[in-house]
A and B are shown apart, each in its own frame.
Chain A
Amino acid sequence: AQSVAQPEDQVNVAEGNPLTVKCTYSVSGNPYLFWYVQYPNRGLQFLLKYITGDNLVKGSYGFEAEFNKSQTSFHLKKPSALVSDSALYFCAVRDMGGTYKYIFGTGTRLKVLA
């Protein structure tokens, strides 16, 4: 069955340091991969997606993610974290070889310390 795993409930990073939020997936076909961000008391906002092509995807607010097929991963990265990046981040996948449903990970809370 298809699934998405975000192994870290929380990631703490100092402002100005690089950040990584991890995501791994399991699907039967080709994956469409997404990252969303949720600020407190707000709905989810789209950050970036991988459909096909270049494995490195650039998105909003300076975030990027790298699709790694052999490791079935799609980690979110940013070279220099800002305090305003503190939020809840969700990885999501659509299984294009099966049910085509959207499946969200359990979320990772990012805390950027000043």
Chain B
Amino acid sequence: DTAVSQTPKYLVTQMGNDKSIKCEQNLGHDTMYWYKQDSKKFLKIMFSYNNKELIINETVPNRFSPKSPDKAHLNLHINSLELGDSAVYFCASSHLTPLATSSTDTQYFGPGTRLTVL
């Protein structure tokens, strides 16, 4: 009955490969996010989707492409992996769009996916 789940938990791959990380939430939320946490634990938002539509797209390489087949899922596909992509990637979800002026949403985070690029 995990609220926000991610697979895989660990991902080790070679430079140049393409990989995907999956995220699912069973909270009935309509907004989902991807964050990157680097080795210094700095947390930065990458993308946000509301009802399957992209609403926040921070400055990330276009090798990163989020895909939302439905509002309970937000997958992250990464092409041509580079050493600098090594990090922990967190998925999160919340109830209301992050751009709503009346939103007081709390974000619920998944357990993270540790990506290591060799």
Contacts and interface: CB of A to CB of B under 8 A. Distances in A.
B112 A43 contact: yes
Contacts, number: 55
Interface centre among A32, A43, A106 (most CB of B within 10 A): A43
Given A96-B101, A100-B99, A43 B111 contact: yes
B42 A32 contact: no
Interface in A63-114: 88, 90, 94, 96, 100-102, 104, 106-107, 109
A110 to B, nearest CB: 13
A96 B104 CA distance: 10
Interface string B85-118: 0000010100000111101101111111000000
Given A90-B43, A101-B56, A32 B109 contact: no
Interface residues of A, number: 23
Interface of A is mostly: strand
A88 B109 contact: no
Interface string B25-43: 0000000010000001111
B45 A44 contact: no
A69 to B, nearest CB: 18
Contacts of B90: 43-44
Given A43-B90, A51-B104, A101-B56, A107 B109 contact: no
Nearest first, the 6 A-B pairs at minimum CB distance are A43-B109, A44-B109, A104-B43, A107-B41, A46-B106, A100-B99
Interface of B: 4, 33, 40-45, 56, 90, 92, 98-101, 103-104, 106-112
